[in-house]
Each structure stands twice: as C-alpha cells, then as structure tokens.
C-alpha cells in the first residue's frame, strides 16, 4: 500500500462511526508533530493541531488502528510504520518554510512547501488555491521551478521581480527542474500551514489510478506521485 493510500485510509471513516472531522493534512501534521517531539501527550497534540479533545481522540484512534503510533504512559510516539510513512511523505513533500508577505501572497502568514517533480500535474494553480481555501486558508500560490527560475503556471511569467522578497528564502528548498512550490496564505499561521499541505496533497493525487473511500463515502480516484513507488509500506 502506498503512502497516499495509507494517509487517506487513516483519515477515512471507521464503520459504523461518523466521518472524522479532520482531514488528510491533519494526519501528515500529526506525524510531523509527534516526530519532532519524540513523545507527545494527547492534549498537546490537540493544541498543536487545533482540534477538539474528542476530535483528537478520534484522530489518535485512527492513527493507532493504522499502526502508525504507539501509546504508552509517557505519551504518543511514532511506530516503525509511522516513521516509514513520514519518510515516504518527505520523499515528495518538503518541510514547510515560512515566508514574508509579498505581491504573490494574500495573507499575513505564508507557508511554502516544495512538491518534488510535479510540474506536469499543475494546470493553472486554481486547484491548489481552491484546496487551500477549503481547508480554511485565504488562498494559495503555485509556482513552477524551470530553467533555474520560478514561474507562474501556464504563462511562464518569471516571478523573481514581483516576488523578490520571497525568492531568496525559497532558495533554501534546493529546488530542481520540474519541482513545484505551493505557498499557503492565511491570517493565522496554522491555517496557512493546513492550507498549503492540503493543496500539496491534492496535487500529489493527480498522477494516476488508485481509489479509496473519501470522507463523503464515495469511491474516488486516489492518485500517487511516481516517486511514491519507493515508499511502500
């Protein structure tokens, strides 16, 4: 089972219960938070993910059922499978990078991620924007790295002048030809991060042909990045 499939499965309904109120991006953020802390308590996780206590209990139950965490008296830690899944995510999706405001962003807080080799899956960037807004962000800006420049999708417009305040910061991402940068923007940092990771996961789903049950109960395409073949669990 591939990385995106596992994330979707963990976020999906556990019959006969209700559909969970958290999203796939919460799964990624939970794994990141637990990995960073080593061991974390449920209340701290609830605060970091901005979920209610009941929602966090459900999230932890899903993570446990998926074999991604271990629970002890000292708290919640990643299992070997959880560490491997997070490694699979990191193979295609960078850690976030905070950016200053610029003409390319639309919120007070701006968080960028690098999505490896997904240039050909970007259309106009509207899909990423809409996904970020659905997650509570104000919007998202999608940029493509090609010929050693960051450009707008479709138009190929070089953003080095309009985005001069952020281009230097984005150089920390070690971008390569065909990589994509998504910047989530919001008036709260958490919403910017949740928005950008939701947008990035949606982009990663555009490559090909698996299916999974979504939070609405429908069977819909769940596409995986070609590089996720190395991240089987």
Total-model pTM: 0.86
CATH 3.30.1360.30 domain extents, the chain: 97-204
Classify domain 3-90 at the CATH class level: mainly alpha
CATH 1.10.10.10 domain extents, the chain: 3-90
Q: Which residues pair with 140 in a beta bridge?
A: 184
Token pair for 126: 């509207």
Q: 14: buried, middle or exposed (CB in 10 Å: 19+, 13-18, 0-12)? A: middle
**Distance of alpha carbon 108 from alpha carbon 40, whole angstroms:** 29
Distances (CA, A) of 70 to 51, 59, 61, 74: 20, 13, 11, 10
> Under 8 Å CB-to-CB from 40, ≥6 apart: which residues?
33, 34, 48, 75, 76, 77
Q: 208: buried, middle or exposed (CB in 10 Å: 19+, 13-18, 0-12)? A: exposed
Segment-wise mean pLDDT, segments of 10 residues, the chain, 233 residues: 87 68 94 97 96 94 96 97 97 96 94 97 95 97 96 94 87 95 98 97 74 37 36 32
Q: Does domain 97-204 match CATH 3.30.1360.30?
A: yes
The DSSP annotation for 1-15 comes to --HHHHHHHHHS--T
129 in helix, strand or coil?
A: helix
What is the predicted pLDDT for the residue at 220?
A: 40
């Amino acid at each position: 089972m591939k990385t995106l499939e596992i994330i979707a499965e963990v976020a999906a309904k556990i019959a006969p219960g209700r559909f969970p109120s958290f999203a796939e991006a919460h799964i990624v953020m939970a794994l990141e938070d637990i990995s960073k802390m080593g061991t974390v308590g449920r209340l701290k996780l609830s605060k970091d993910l901005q979920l209610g206590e009941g929602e966090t209990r459900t999230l932890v139950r899903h993570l446990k059922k998926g074999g991604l965490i271990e629970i002890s008296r000292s708290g919640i830690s990643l299992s070997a499978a959880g560490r491997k899944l997070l490694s699979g995510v990191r193979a295609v999706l960078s850690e976030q990078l905070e950016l200053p405001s610029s003409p390319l962003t639309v919120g007070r807080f701006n968080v960028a991620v690098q999505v490896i080799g997904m240039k050909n899956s970007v259309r106009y960037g509207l899909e990423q924007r809409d996904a970020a807004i659905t997650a509570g962000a104000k919007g998202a800006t999608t940029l493509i790295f090609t010929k050693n420049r960051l450009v707008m999708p479709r138009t190929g417009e070089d953003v080095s002048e309009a985005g001069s305040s952020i281009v230097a910061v984005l150089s920390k991402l070690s971008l390569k030809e065909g990589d994509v940068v998504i910047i989530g923007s919001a008036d709260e940092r958490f919403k910017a991060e949740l928005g950008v990771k939701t947008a990035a996961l949606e982009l990663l789903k555009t490559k090909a042909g698996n299916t999974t049950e979504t939070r609405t109960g429908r069977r819909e395409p769940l596409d995986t990045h070609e590089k996720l073949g190395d991240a089987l669990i």
